[in-house]
């Protein structure tokens, strides 16, 4: 496995984790637990930022 393949694999895992956390927070808001959903969006935003920065530092396309 090349370094580029490993970078893609790690970026994919980070993206799936960030997407799942965001979807879970949005689902909480839709169901009616707005305070918990908003609190859940804070770590979701950090995960999305980490995913974005990982891809940007390695020159990956979006």
* Per-residue model confidence (pLDDT) at position 30: 96
**pLDDT higher than 90, residue 1:** no
Indicate if the pLDDT at residue 61 is higher than 90. no
pTM: 0.86
Tell whether the model's pLDDT for residue 62 goes beyond 80: no
Q: Residue 21 CB: number of other CB atoms within 10 A?
A: 18
Percent of the chain with pLDDT over 90: 85
Distance CA 31, CA 27 (A): 6
What is the rounded average pLDDT of the residues 29-33? 94
**Can you give the residue ranges of every domain in the chain?**
7-56
Residue-wise pLDDT tens digits, 8-17: 999 999 999 9
């Amino acid at each position: 496995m090349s370094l580029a393949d490993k970078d893609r694999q790690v970026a994919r895992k980070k993206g799936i984790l960030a997407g799942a956390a965001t979807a879970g927070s949005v689902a909480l808001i839709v169901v009616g637990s707005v305070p918990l959903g908003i609190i859940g969006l804070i770590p979701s935003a950090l995960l999305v930022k980490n995913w974005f920065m990982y891809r940007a530092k390695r020159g990956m396309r979006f």
